[in-house]
Amino acid sequence: MSGHPDVDCRSGRRPGLVAPLGRPRLAWAVAVLLTPAAWAVDDPVTAPPAPAAPSASAAGLPQPGPNDRHIAVAVRRHLEREHFLRRPIDDGVARLWFDAFIEALDPMKVYFLESDFQEFGRDRDSLDDLVKKGDVSFAYTVLGRFLKRVDERLPVIEKLIDAPHDFTRQETIVVDRDQTKWAASEADLEDVWRKRIKYDLLVQKMEETPEQEAKDKLHRRYRSFAKRMHQMTADELLETYLSSLTSSFDPHTSFMSPGTLENFEIGMRLQLDGIGAQLKSEDGYTTIVELTPGGAADRDGRLKSKDRVVGVGQGNSGEIVDTVDMNLNEVVKLIRGKRGTVVRLKVVPVGETAPKVYDISRDKIELKDAEARGEVIEHGKKADGSTYRVGVISLPSFYMDMAGAQQGQADFKSSTRDTEKLLDDFRQKGVDCVVLDLRNNGGGSLPEAIKLTGLFIDRGPVVQIKDADQQVRPYDDVDPGVAWDGPLVVLANKFSASASEILAGAIQDYGRGLIVGDDATHGKGTVQSLLDLGRQLFRRFDNAPSLGAIKITMQQFYRPSGASTQLEGVKSDVTLPSITTHLPVGESDLDHAIPFDRVPAARFEPESRVTKQVIDRLRTRSAERVAADEKFRDLAGDIARYRKRKDEKTLSLVASEFERQWNEGKAAEQEEEDRQEKTEFSKRPVVERDYYFDEAMNVVVDYLESLAGAGGLAEAAQAMPQPKPVLSPLR
* 130, part of any domain: yes
Same domain, yes or no: 250 and 354: no
As a whole number of angstroms, the distance between CA 201 and CA 689 comes to 37
Instruction: Give residue 550's identity as a one-letter amino acid code.
Output: I
Give which of 33, 672, 7 is closest to 369, Cα–Cα.
Answer: 7
* Strand intervals (E) in 519-670: 526-532, 549-558, 574-575, 650-652
As a whole number of angstroms, the distance between CA 641 and CA 645 comes to 6
In sequence order, which ranges of 89-210 are alpha helices (DSSP H)?
91-105, 114-121, 127-132, 137-162, 186-206
* 398, part of any domain: yes
Name the stretches of the chain with pLDDT < 50: 1-59, 679-682, 711-731
Same domain, yes or no: 218 and 136: yes
Same domain, yes or no: 485 and 627: yes
Same domain, yes or no: 247 and 352: no
Same domain, yes or no: 501 and 631: yes
Domain end among 256, 279, 298 = 256
As a whole number of angstroms, the distance between CA 147 and CA 153 comes to 10
Same domain, yes or no: 139 and 238: yes
* 36, part of any domain: yes
555 DSSP 8-state letter:
E
Which residues pair with residue 35 across a beta bridge? 529
Q: E strand or H helix at 451, and its extent?
A: helix 446-453
* 565, part of any domain: yes
Q: Which phi and psi angles does 298 have, rounded to 5°?
A: -65, -45
Q: Which domain holds residue 354?
A: 271-366
pLDDT in tens, 373-416: 999 999 999 989 999 999 999 999 998 887 777 777 777 889 99
Which residues pair with residue 466 across a beta bridge? 472, 556
pLDDT in tens, 521-557: 999 999 998 898 888 777 766 677 788 899 999 999 9
Report whether 297 contacts 347 (CB < 8 A). Answer: no
As a whole number of angstroms, the distance between CA 267 and CA 321 comes to 27
Report whether 504 contacts 518 (CB < 8 A). Answer: no
* 555, part of any domain: no
Identify the burial level of 637 via C-beta atoms within 10 angstroms of its C-beta, where 0-12 means exposed, 13-18 middle and 19 or more buried: exposed
Same domain, yes or no: 392 and 362: no
Give which of 266, 265, 270, 262 is closest to 414, Cα–Cα.
Answer: 270
As a whole number of angstroms, the distance between CA 530 and CA 272 comes to 20
The whole-number pLDDT of residue 326 equals: 85
Q: Max CA-CA distance within the chain?
A: 81
Domain with residue 335: its CATH number is 2.30.42.10
Considering its fold, how many domains does the chain have in total?
A: 3
Crossing angle for the helix pair 68-82 and 234-246, nearest 10 degrees?
20
Q: Reduce the secondary structure of 401-423 to three states and give it as a string.
A: CHHHHHCCCCCCCEHHHHHHHHH
As a whole number of angstroms, the distance between CA 337 and CA 362 comes to 7
As a whole number of angstroms, the distance between CA 318 and CA 361 comes to 14
* 131, part of any domain: yes
What are the distances in angstroms from CA 579 to CA 127, 671, 673, 684?
Answer: 41, 7, 12, 19
Identify the burial level of 527 via C-beta atoms within 10 angstroms of its C-beta, where 0-12 means exposed, 13-18 middle and 19 or more buried: buried
The whole-number pLDDT of residue 249 equals: 97
* 87, part of any domain: yes
Domain end among 232, 256, 280 = 256
pLDDT in tens, 322-378: 988 888 888 888 988 888 899 999 999 988 888 899 999 988 776 666 789 999 999
pLDDT in tens, 696-718: 999 999 999 999 875 444 444 34
Instruction: Give residue 559's identity as a one-letter amino acid code.
Output: R
pTM attached to this predicted model: 0.79
Same domain, yes or no: 219 and 308: no
Q: Which phi and psi angles does 641 have, rounded to 5°?
A: -65, -40
* 320, part of any domain: yes
The whole-number pLDDT of residue 710 equals: 56
The whole-number pLDDT of residue 19 equals: 33
Report whether 269 contacts 402 (CB < 8 A). Answer: yes
Same domain, yes or no: 353 and 401: no
Helix (H, G, I), strand (E, B) or coil at 551: strand
Same domain, yes or no: 470 and 617: yes
Domain with residue 378: its CATH number is 3.90.226.10
Same domain, yes or no: 215 and 297: no
Domain end among 221, 256, 291 = 256
Residues 6+ apart with CB under 8 A from 380: 387, 388, 697, 698, 700, 701, 704
Give which of 493, 504, 490, 372 is closest to 437, Cα–Cα.
Answer: 490
Same domain, yes or no: 276 and 317: yes
